[in-house]
Structures are given as C-alpha cells and as structure tokens.
Structure 1
Amino acid sequence: MIEEIRQFITNQAIAFGAKPEAEFHKPYIERNNTGQEALKDNGAYFGFIHPDEDVSGPFHDFSLTIFPNDQGKPWLVCLGIGSSGFKNDYELATYPGLRRLFSQLVDHKGFCKSDFSDIETSLPKTISGHRDLQHIKNTVKTYTKVLPVCQIVDNPESEVGKQTIAAFVAGYAKLRDWPSNSSHRKSLSAALSPFLQMKEAIDETEEIINLLTERKYIVLQGPPGTGKTRSAKEVAEKMKAIVFFTQFHAETSFSDFIYGIRPDLGNNELSYIESLGIFTQALKYALEHGKEKVVLVIDEINRANLSNVLGPIFYLFEHKMDSSNVEIEITPGFKVKVLPDNFHVIATMNTADRSLAVVDFALRRRFAWYSLKPKAINIKQFFKDDFARIEDIFNWYASSNELSLQPGQGYFIADSENEMKNRIRYEVFPLIQEYLQEGLMKNSKEEFNNYFSTRIGQSLFE
C-alpha cells in the first residue's frame, strides 16, 4: 500500500506541474524511509523536500511529509519543516495565505499552527497523544516541533483518504509554485476545492432582511466595490419599504441629520425657519404610517463625527428597548421614548478607508454588523480572470486586516476589453499603489507589479 500511495502522490505532483524527470531544476527531492525497522514506530516517513536539499541526512525548509504504517492503522499527513530549520522558506512561512490555505485542509482530527515560522512549540497533546496515533507515537514525538500542519487519515486508500492526500500535495505544489499552465492550475483547484471554505450560494439580500427584522439597525461593511449601497437599496425594495436616503461626510452635523434652523431666503427681512433632518423626516413618517415599513439608509456612516451628528438620539438605538421612562427630544415639542417597530436603519461603511476604520464601541453595540466581501458574479460583463488574479494575491499575502482592502467585484465589470483595461489603469492601479505607499500589502508588491506590467503595460515603480 505504501508504494501505491507514493505513486499516487507522484502522479498528483505531475498533474500540478512538477516535472520529476527533468535533469536540472527538479521540483523536489523525494525522501523515502519506509523500511521494516523504520515502520516499527522508528521514524518511518516519505514525501518531498526542498529541491536544493540532499537526498539523505538532515534537511531544511518546508516538506510534504507522510508518516505511514503497514498495520492498516491511520496515517498522518503533514506539511513539515526539516529538523535543520529554515534556509530558503522563512519568508514563505510568514505569508498569511499559506496558513490560510492549509488551515482549510484539516478537520477535527487535524491541527494547524497559528505561526508557521515557529519551530519551538510542540504539537498539542490532542494530536501527539491521539489514540489513533499510538502506533506511531514515538515517531510523532520526534518531529513534534516541526509539523505546522497535520491531518490524521484513517484509510489512505479510501476515496476520502486520497482526497485529503491530494489536497496536501496541491497545497505543497502551490507553495512551491509548480503550476505553469491552465491545466495544472485547473487540476490543483479541483484537488483543493472540496476543502476550501467556499461559502454556499446564499441569498445575501434575504440574510440582511432577516438580520434587519431581528435587530432593526444594521451596518453593511466591506471594501469598495462590494455593492454595499446597492444591497441596502435592494433590501428596502424587497421589504416594500419607504426609503429615506442620506450620505454622511465630514461636515455632517446634528442640524443636518436631526433638526436645525436656517435663514429664510424667501423673506426680505432676516428670519429663520426650522429644518427637519432626514432622520426626523423618516421617524415622523414611520410614526404616522404605522402599517408601512420605513428604512433609513445612511451611506458612509463612519465619515461623520457620530457623537456630534446623533447627539441624544444615540440612546434610542438600544437593541430591544421595548419601553423607556426617558423621553428624548427630537425637535421642539416632539419627543419619543422608543423608536417604532416599523422604523429600520441600514448604514454602510467602507472598510478600506483606513483613516475611518475605527468606530465608537457604543455604536458597534447598538448596531448589528454584516460583512460584504468581494465575490465573483455570473454576468457577461464580469472579467473573472482579473478578479481572480487580484483575489489570489490578497488571499496569499494579506493579513486578516488587509483582506478588508481587496477591491470588490464592482471594479471588474465592463462592457469591453478596452473599458476593463481602463478600469484597471485608472481605478485598480491607483488603489493598489496607494495601499503600497501606505505600507500595506508590502510583501505583494512584486506580484502586483507583475500583474499590472503584464495586463496594462504599466509598472508600479516607474
């Protein structure tokens, strides 16, 4: 069985772009220590190591390592690190995308370290002492500090077992950059797709409606181009609600949003008239039309000074406040204790605007938060290859916080190739350039530069 799985792994590697028959620049060195003595829980393993390493002895850097047995018991499939530590792969170990990828290949019988560059911390006892690994416990103990990812495979010959092994080979192929054509990339994607956390095809509009019904006040947050404002309007339309719309900016004030007075420009003498802000207009409408649903859409809610804009009405947004002894004055002579049940608020927030990323914790407590992420869409005008390339760079290099910077699908909609090139040149390119200038996505600069140079003949560094 061991030889069959070794051949299976070699075939998978070839499908993903490795060329083991090459005389020079081989993609890997294969190690095979599966003799009878080694199989007696004495360090038996096989797999691939860095192509610059020797065929025997201690080695460095990431490896695809499998701990087998010939007793019909579970195997352990791992992304390992040579006992000599890092020589070429340390920077690779720090890429968030590497951990992000392999963390999706393990289940409850697996483990993924939080830091792949850590070769000092041992495996947790839930793995090293797992009852399914007692037959290789000494072997696992020997390598316990250099196994950032491992997965117990109950039966490597089963369909599920081979699927898991193929996914680990695909992950190793990706980190070694084996794929060189569309066939390789297609095979690699097919091996990974059963494990990647692809969100089921959900109706986001329905999810938002359900959340809005439960919580009444929500914020749609996400990078530019993810359709936050469009989604807010679509939700209101599906709810058959009356929509009141406003967009916040740095100068938005209480008098704009709630209530103020303004000069009466139609009067020859200086006089003032009251001005009802959009919030007050929407609230009065909701109170006067109790059977109608009202949605107030606040676009770019984090662009204003919210304490100044909301003032005392902030109190009214308390979740599930059925009654109150406190009356809040909205306008002279108009006070309310609670907001009516038919009154809802949908706000939007751009998470890529770093200067405005921090929001008052009191606001966070009063609103529910729904994240809209970049996603491929199935329309003729959508340039999926450009979207996929940008997404791949973000997935590999972006930290958790930097993922919120990825341009949304709206950037990749165009009626022609020429229009798409212009969108990349005048919209996507300046956006990425600004990120890099701010010190964001630093490790991805050469990937982005290669993409833009190839796609539009423009370098980030000219």
Structure 2
Amino acid sequence: MIDGVIDFIVDCAVKFGAKPDLEFNKPYVFRKNVGTDALKDNGAFFGFIHPEEEGSGPFHDFSLTIFPNDQNKPWLVCLGIGSSGFKNDYELATYPGLRRLFSKLIDERGFCKSDFADIETSLPKSITGIQDLQHIKNTIKTYTKVLPACQIVDDPESAKGKQIIAAFVAGYSKLRDWPTNNDHRKAVSEALESFLKTETTDESEELKNLLKERKYIVLQGPPGTGKTRTAKSVADKIGAKTFFTQFHAETSFSDFIFGIRPDTENEELRYKENLGNFSEALKYAVDHKYENVILIIDEINRANLSNVLGPIFYLFEHKMDISNVEIEIAPNFKINKLPDNFSVIATMNTADRSLAVVDFALRRRFAWYTLKPKAINSNQFFKEDFNRIQEIFDWYATSTELNLQPGQGYFIANTDNEMKNRIRYEILPLIKEYLQEGLLRNAKEEFNKYFYDRLKISIFE
C-alpha cells in the first residue's frame, strides 16, 4: 500500500508541473523512511522537502509529509516544517494565502495553525490525543510543533483518501510554483476544486429575509461589488416605496432630518422649512402604514454620523417596543418608535481608508452584510482578468486587505480593448495607490507582472 501511495503522489507532482528528472533545479528532494523498523517504532514517513536540502538528516523549510502505517489504521497527511526550522521559507510562511489555502483542505478531523510561521506551539490535544492516531503518537509528539496543517486519512487508497492527498500535493505545488503551463494549472485547480467550492447564495433573497428580521442593514464591501444595486434589488423584491440619499462629508442634520433654508424665490429674505430625506421617508411610512418603505443611504460612513443622526439615533432598535420617550423629527411631527413598515438599507465602501471607523453603538443597531467580489455569468465579464487579480489578493492580502479587492463591476466591458482601458485607467491606478500607501507590499511584483503581461506597462513607471 505504501509504495502505491508513493507512486501516486509522485505522479500527482509531475501532473502539477514538477520535473524530478532535471539534473539541476530539481523541484524537490524525496525523503522515504518506511522500513520495517521505522514502521514498528511508528517513526515512518515519506514526502517532498525543499530542493536545496540533503537526502538525509535534519532539514529546513516546508515539506509535504505523510505518516503511514502497515496496520490498516489511519494515516496523517501534513504540510510540515523541517525540525531545523526556516531557512528559505519564512517569508512564504507569512503569506495569508498559504494558510487560507490549506485551511480549506482540512475537515473536523484535521488541524490548521493560525500562524504558519509559528514553530513554538504544539498541536492541540484534539489531534495529539485522538484515539485514531495512537499508533503514531510518538511521531506526532516528535513533530508536534512543526505541523502547521494536517489531516487524518482513514484509507489512503480510497477515492476520498486519494482526493485529500492529491489536494495536499496540489497545495504544495502552488507553494513551490511547480505549474508552468495551462495544463499544470488546470490539474492543480481540478485537484483543489471540491475543497475550494463556495456555496452560491441568492444575496437579494438572503437580504430580504434579513431585512424582515432586523429592519436596519448595512451592506459593506469593496468597490464594484454592487452594493447600491443590491440594495435597490432588495427594495424591488419586496415591492417597497424607495427613498434614496447619498452621504458625503458635508451632509448635516438639516439635510437628513429637518432644517430651514433661505427662500431664494422671494425678494425679501425669509426662510422655509425643509424636510430631510429621512423625514420624508418616515412621514410617508407613517401615512401609508400598509406599504413597505425603504430608505437607502448610500456611503453611510462618509458623513459625521453623530451630527447627521442626532437624537434619532435612539430610534434604531429593531425590537424596540413603544417607548415613553418621544423624539421630535420636525415641528408637529414626533414619534416614539419607528413604524414597522419602515426599513433602512445603507451601503459602506470598505476600501475607503480615509473614513472614520463606525462607532460600536451604530454597529449594534444595524445588521452588517458583506458583499464580496465574485465571478458573474455574462459575455461582458472578463473572467480571466478577474481571476488573476483575485488570486493575487487571495495569496498575499491580509484579512483587512481583502476588503480592498476590486469587485466584479470593474471587469465588465464590451470588448477586449475596452477592458484594457478599464485595467489601465481604473484598476492599475487603484492598485498603485494601495502599494504607495504601504498595502499589499508582498504582492507588488505579482501585480507588476500582471499589468505588464496584459498591457506591456510597468506599474512602477
């Protein structure tokens, strides 16, 4: 069985782009210690280590390591680190995408460290103490600090077992940059596909249900993810009367709630009352209690919310019973509770780093729904460009930096020439700005290669 699995992982490696027959620049060094004594003392292992390491003895850096046995008991498949620690791979260990990838390859019978550069923390007892692995407990104890990702495989020769092992080899191939052509990349994608699938959800339907439960929602996400469009779609879906406003730095209480303005049509200076967007929508909801009313607030975090909302902030409690406190919205217009047929959908651009953090009181009063960049089915959608940008973000971006990824709206064009113009005059300046602000530093050469391959333009010119 062991020899069969060894042949399988070597074949996978070749399919994913490794060329073990090269005299120089070999893709890996293969280690194998599966003799009778090793199996008896449960110290058997085999797998790939860094190509600069020796064929025996302690080694450095990331490895693909498999701990087998000859007792028909579960095996352990791991992304490991040599007991000598890091020599060439420390920077690689800090890339968020590496952990992001391997975390998707494990299930409840596996483990993934929160920090792949950490070689001081041992595996949790949920792995070291599990009954299924008692036959290799000494091995696990020896390497407990240098196994950032591992997965129990009950039967390595079964279809499921081979699927897991192939996925780990594919992950290691991405780590080592083995793929050099489309066939290699396609094979890697196919090996990872079932692990990386994300469930497709009808966001409008999900938001419609959330709105019914919570009443006040903020749609947050990077630019181009269709936040405003989605808000309008939800309003249409429930047949609501829609009011729309967009906040900016100068939006004030008098714009949004109530104020007075000069009457410019009168020859003498006089003022007239002005109902803001909120008050107009609210008054309509009060007067039409059997009709759903939605106020859409675009770019809610662009304004000074304390100044804009004033005392009405108190009313945004989705389960508020009638209060004994009345809030004056406008002269002769007081309420102690927002009507049940009145809802608010706000949008917030998570890539706008110039904006103040939304305070926790507002966060408690609203439900927060994140719209992420996603591929769409359209002849005008340039999927290859979208996928390349997404791959760079997924590999190099921190959780916070993922909020900067350009959404699908950036990749819609009628012709390739139009798409190139969008890349040149919209996406490239955006990425360049990120880099100039010190964001996504590790990805700068990847971005530069993408723009040069696509436009023959360097991002640093």
Q: Can you list the C-alpha shifts for 1:270-325, whole angstroms capped at 9, x where unaligned?
A: 11110010101000111111111111000000000000000000011012012111
Instruction: Give percent identity, aligned residues only.
Output: 75
1:455 equivalent in structure 2: 454
Deviation at 1:326, TM superposition (A): 0.5
Aligned-pair RMSD on alpha carbons? 0.8
Q: What is the SS of the residue equivalent to 2:242?
A: strand
Q: What is the SS of the residue equivalent to 2:399?
A: coil
CA distance in 1, matches of 2:221, 2:130: 41
Equivalent positions of 1:205-216 (< 5 A) are 205-216=204-215
Q: Which one-letter code corresponds to 2:140 in the other structure?
A: V
Contact 1:351 1:357 in 2 (8 A): no
Q: What is the SS of the residue equivalent to 1:39?
A: helix
Q: Which one-letter code corresponds to 1:201 in the other structure?
A: T
Contact 1:242 1:292 in 2 (8 A): yes
Deviation at 1:140, TM superposition (A): 1.1
Q: What is the SS of the residue equivalent to 1:193?
A: helix
Q: Can you list the C-alpha shifts for 1:113-144, whole angstroms capped at 9, x where unaligned?
A: 11111111111121112111111111111111
Deviation at 1:194, TM superposition (A): 1.3
1:115 equivalent in structure 2: 115
Deviation at 1:460, TM superposition (A): 1.6
Contact 1:41 1:137 in 2 (8 A): no
Equivalent positions of 1:263-278 (< 5 A) are 263-278=262-277
1:353 equivalent in structure 2: 352
CA distance in 1, matches of 2:181, 2:326: 67
Q: Can you list the C-alpha shifts for 1:45-103, whole angstroms capped at 9, x where unaligned?
A: 00000111111111110000000000100000000011111111010000000001001
2:226 equivalent in structure 1: 227
CA distance in 2, matches of 1:108, 1:417: 44
Structure 2: gaps (5+ residues): none
Contact 1:41 1:135 in 2 (8 A): no
Equivalent positions of 1:299-448 (< 5 A) are 299-356=298-355, 358-448=357-447
1:155 equivalent in structure 2: 155
Q: What is the SS of the residue equivalent to 1:105?
A: coil
CA distance in 1, matches of 2:39, 2:89: 29
Q: Can you list the C-alpha shifts for 1:227-258, whole angstroms capped at 9, x where unaligned?
A: 00000111111111111000000000000000
Deviation at 1:357, TM superposition (A): 5.5
CA distance in 1, matches of 2:15, 2:322: 65
1:48 equivalent in structure 2: 48
CA distance in 1, matches of 2:263, 2:76: 79
1:296 equivalent in structure 2: 295
Q: Which one-letter code corresponds to 2:419 in the other structure?
A: M
Q: Which one-letter code corresponds to 2:333 in the other structure?
A: F
Q: Which one-letter code corresponds to 1:430 in the other structure?
A: P
Contact 2:42 2:69 in 1 (8 A): no
1:34 equivalent in structure 2: 34
CA distance in 2, matches of 1:144, 1:284: 64
CA distance in 2, matches of 1:120, 1:230: 48
Deviation at 1:269, TM superposition (A): 1.0
Contact 1:46 1:66 in 2 (8 A): yes
Structure 1: gaps (5+ residues): none
Q: Which one-letter code corresponds to 1:331 in the other structure?
A: A
Deviation at 1:42, TM superposition (A): 4.0
CA distance in 2, matches of 1:121, 1:267: 76
CA distance in 2, matches of 1:255, 1:290: 25
CA distance in 1, matches of 2:266, 2:128: 84
Equivalent positions of 1:160-199 (< 5 A) are 160-196=160-196, 198-199=197-198
CA distance in 1, matches of 2:136, 2:460: 52
Q: Which aligned segments of 4 or more residues in structure 1 are displaced greater than 3 angstroms?
A: none
Deviation at 1:199, TM superposition (A): 2.5
Q: Which one-letter code corresponds to 1:304 in the other structure?
A: A
CA distance in 2, matches of 1:131, 1:446: 46
Deviation at 1:188, TM superposition (A): 0.6
CA distance in 2, matches of 1:335, 1:225: 39
Q: Can you list the C-alpha shifts for 1:305-363, whole angstroms capped at 9, x where unaligned?
A: 00000000001101201211110000011100101111110000000001216101111
CA distance in 2, matches of 1:12, 1:42: 26
Cα distance change on mapping 1:357 and 1:186 into 2, 3 Å: farther
* Number of residue pairs aligned between Structure 1 and Structure 2: 461
Q: What is the SS of the residue equivalent to 2:25?
A: coil
Q: What is the SS of the residue equivalent to 2:98?
A: helix
Q: What is the SS of the residue equivalent to 1:369?
A: strand
2:134 equivalent in structure 1: 134
CA distance in 1, matches of 2:171, 2:356: 33
Q: What is the SS of the residue equivalent to 1:356?
A: coil
CA distance in 2, matches of 1:201, 1:129: 37
CA distance in 1, matches of 2:212, 2:314: 20
Equivalent positions of 1:69-80 (< 5 A) are 69-80=69-80
CA distance in 2, matches of 1:319, 1:342: 12
Contact 2:166 2:191 in 1 (8 A): yes
